[in-house]
Amino acid sequence: MATKVPNLSDLIHRVASSCLLHPVGRVHGPDGGNPEGSKEEEEKQEREKVEGEGEEDFRVWEEEEEQREGVLERMREVEGLLEEVFEGVSAMKRAYVSLQEAHCPWDPEKMRVADVAVVAELRRLGRLRERFRRGGGGGGNGGRGLGPYREAVVGPYEAAVEELKREVRVKEAEVEGLKEKLRTVATVGKKGRFHPSHRRVSCSSQAAASVPTPELFNSCMSQVKQACKTFISLLLSRMRSSNWDIEAAARTIQAPSDTIPAVQSPHHAKHAIESYVLCKFFQGFENETFYIDGSLSSLLHPSQFRQDCLSQFNGIKPMDPTELLGIFPNSPFGRFCCKKYLAVFHPQMEESLFGGLEQRRAVLAGNHPRTEFYAEFLNLAKAVWLLHLVAFALDPAPSHFQASRGADYHPEYMESVVRFSGGKVAPVGDMAVGFPVSPGFKLGNGAVIKSRVYLVSRV
């Protein structure tokens, strides 16, 4: 059947009918589809819009949560850093206390260890400071968020570190001063002898002795007498304050016999105490080390030994003995002081005088107490030690002698510690030695330093 070709009026009719039945706003959607499809598309777009807004809110929440986690993480890093700072400062304090303790008594090995510890702790605190500046432990945030904590928390510790550094510099200056004094005294050799430098000691008011002389020995003996007088006065004062019967103590020290009477006057009891102290000090004087060790240098290398003795004399003479033993507590002189203190003061005597044995325990440990009494004891010990050095520096060495109890009085070798009334000379035939007070010496040039004795009348 052949298709009927529509004419123009039929086409117009169809278009008009279609427009009336399907208005333009409802017939075609956005994509040219039907009306039902347009509605579904609108709902889909609405859902996508709501979902998009929810996803955006979730992303914002996640970002805020990440920021809060970052702040908490930084806070934990700061807390950990502060804990390390506290530990570092505490360790620094301990190391610095050890450094101070190594100064007195002077302990070179302990000083070296403490110095290394102080430097290590300072470096540790420095690393913590740099770590904080980089962002609290290397978190890579460039220190963001830590600014408010820096001045309030780390600032005081940085100030403390700077203060410790200043104190270390002060101590270093003190150490340099002590080293300067050390160079004037000596470095301890293998045998424990001092070998002073040739520099002059600034604190000395006297020139160093270039050669030992009998006059120098006589001068040292006079210093022994003066130092002994001062120490005996202090000892007697201590005895009186401890309610000692000094006359009874003198009788105990110098027990009388049938032929030799006791101390004849209470005022003479001090001579018995002086005799007891000097007897202990001069015991072993004939040996080059007071029998502290078995050295034979004076026999094997006599010339060098005499030079060493003179050098040691020049080094020790201007030094305060307390300061000297603070530097060399275990030197031969330090061991000499400990040995003589323990010989002079037995435990019961010390406990009675001082109310305890603290001083004795310190000496037994090789230390030297910083007390007035022990300081005067050291002055006497130093005087005897210097006399001993000069004796062994002389060639030939002086020979010493001691008057024995009951011996005849010989005025050319003895002098009385008691002055007779009217300045009279003691009668030779009627007097005998009650007890010796200090030894005498015969020098190489024939001169004699008289032995001091306490004379009594023969019974």
DSSP codes of every residue in 195-212: E--SSPPTT-SSPPPSS-
pLDDT of 120 over the 50 cut: yes
Q: Any idea which residue has 């061991």 for tokens?
A: 335
Question: Hey, is 442 helix, strand or coil?
Answer: strand
Q: Is 150 or 313 the better-scoring residue by pLDDT?
A: 313
Q: What is the mean pLDDT of the chain?
A: 78
pLDDT of 167 over the 70 cut: yes
**Among candidate residues 321, 315, 317, 335, the one with its CA nearest the CA of residue 374:** 321
pLDDT above 70 covers a percentage of the chain that reads: 70
Whether the upstream peptide bond of residue 396 has omega within 30° of 0, thus cis, is yes
pLDDT value of residue 335: 94
pLDDT of 388 over the 90 cut: yes
pLDDT band at 294 (very low <50, low <70, confident <90, very high): confident
**Directed axis angle between helix 214-241 and helix 347-354, to 10°?**
60
pLDDT of 271 over the 80 cut: yes
pLDDT value of residue 256: 58
Rounded Cα gap, residues 418 and 271, in angstroms: 9
What integer is the mean pLDDT of 354-372? 92
Question: Are the C-beta atoms of residues 449 and 440 closer than 8 Å to each other?
Answer: yes
Rounded Cα gap, residues 377 and 362, in angstroms: 15
- Beta strands (DSSP E) in 152-289 are 187-188, 194-195
pLDDT value of residue 192: 45
pLDDT value of residue 430: 74
Rounded Cα gap, residues 430 and 454, in angstroms: 14
pLDDT value of residue 27: 44
**Among candidate residues 451, 452, 457, 449, the one with its CA nearest the CA of residue 215:** 449
Q: Is 198 or 288 the better-scoring residue by pLDDT?
A: 288
pLDDT of 442 over the 90 cut: yes
pLDDT band at 76 (very low <50, low <70, confident <90, very high): confident
Question: Hey, is 305 helix, strand or coil?
Answer: helix
* pTM metric for this prediction: 0.58
pLDDT above 90 covers a percentage of the chain that reads: 31
What integer is the mean pLDDT of 32-40? 56
pLDDT of 139 over the 80 cut: no
pLDDT band at 280 (very low <50, low <70, confident <90, very high): very high
pLDDT of 382 over the 80 cut: yes
Ramachandran angles phi, psi of 141, nearest 5°: -100, 10
What integer is the mean pLDDT of 245-249? 86
Q: Any idea which residue has 């330093």 for tokens?
A: 449
pLDDT value of residue 262: 60
Span 190-246, pLDDT tens digits: 344 444 333 333 333 345 677 889 999 999 999 999 999 999 999 999 999 999 988
pLDDT value of residue 149: 52
Domain residues of the chain, as ranges? 61-185, 202-395
> HEC string of 409-431?
CCCCCEEECCCCHHHCCCCCCCE
Q: Is 79 or 238 the better-scoring residue by pLDDT?
A: 238
pLDDT value of residue 38: 62
Q: Is 160 or 16 the better-scoring residue by pLDDT?
A: 160
pLDDT value of residue 264: 64
Rounded Cα gap, residues 200 and 208, in angstroms: 8
pLDDT of 112 over the 50 cut: yes
pLDDT band at 150 (very low <50, low <70, confident <90, very high): low
pLDDT band at 275 (very low <50, low <70, confident <90, very high): very high
